Amino acid sequence: MSSVVDPAVAAPVTPAAVPAAPAPTAPAIVVNGKIRLPAGLVDLEAFRAWARENRPEGARVSWLAGEIWIEVGMEQAFSHNDVKSEINGVLRVLVKTSRQGRYFSDGMLLGNPDVGLSTIPDGLYVSVAAVESGRVRLLPGRSGGCVEVQGSPDMVLETVSDSSAREDTQEMPELYRRAGITEFWRVDARGELRFEILRLTAEGYAPTQEPDGWWHSPVFGRRFRLVRQPGALGEPECTLEVRE
């Protein structure tokens, strides 16, 4: 005798669909009550979009190969501000006179998507040749102008401070090398004055110091040295000397 199976009983039971959990979102981050990084800065492009349009003026926030670096220390007048101001001032006049490019002082955003870099060096130089070849693009903001230098500028300057020592001596040289930036200028005036012009080679950055102590810059076609002496207030004051 054959048995009859009720189809309603025999049909497999399909469990009810469970809604997928929402993807986790990085929370907003507030530093010292002043710098606010919004939620969603999970990749370089999102970070660059925020940095171009919404980064608080003066905020030192960088994206370095997948990590967000934030400088929160106060800027020292004589070992940092004075030093970068002197170098930027001399190089700006030199570049403006030669009309071979544009020099941008502290505050200009630099991005290079190929190496995962978005940062604000203490100064940078862009030659006309770099723009004409497409090696550098000057990106506009919502209201036009230029708010970001993208690509591989000819030269960058970093002034070492307590809050940026590891960044300037370990992280940045490698990222600038990978970005193909021709010259990396670095100065540390926190103790004994150290000034370097590093030239990009196949093996990495190499110092250009000559036997007489001057540093050669092929980018600017000049030789430089940075000296320090007491200023008008008795505190140290730096002077960037230039010769052919």
Give pTM, 2 decimals. Answer: 0.82
Q: Beta partners for 158? A: 186
Q: How far apart are the first and last CA of the chain?
A: 111
Q: Are 59 and 71 in contact (CB under 8 A)?
A: no
More confident residue, 20 or 30: 30
pLDDT of residue 67 exceeding 50, the answer is yes
Ramachandran class of 75: left when φ > 0, alpha when ψ lies in -120 to 50, beta otherwise? beta
Query: What are the residues whose beta carbons fall under 8 Å from the beta carbon of 134, sequence distance 6 or more?
Result: 151
**Separation between Cα atoms, residue 213 and residue 91, nearest integer Å:** 19
**Separation between Cα atoms, residue 224 and residue 179, nearest integer Å:** 24
The CATH fold of domain 74-243: tt1808, chain A (3.90.1570)
The domain locations on the chain are 7-70, 74-243
Burial of 6 (0-12, 13-18, 19+ CB in 10 A): exposed
Per-residue confidence band for 2, with pLDDT thresholds at 50, 70 and 90 = very low
pLDDT of residue 7 exceeding 70, the answer is no
Q: Region 48-59: what's the mean pLDDT?
A: 81
**Dihedral of the CA atoms 143, 51, 181, 169 (nearest 10)?**
150
Q: Region 136-159: what's the mean pLDDT?
A: 95
pLDDT at residue 53 in the model: 84
66-70, 124-128, 231-235: range with lowest mean pLDDT: 66-70
Output Rg (C-alpha) for the chain, integer angstroms.
26
More confident residue, 10 or 72: 72
6-10, 64-68, 202-206: range with lowest mean pLDDT: 6-10
DSSP 37: E
- Which tens digits make up the pLDDT trace of 74-127? 789 999 999 999 999 999 999 999 999 999 998 899 999 999 999 999 999 999
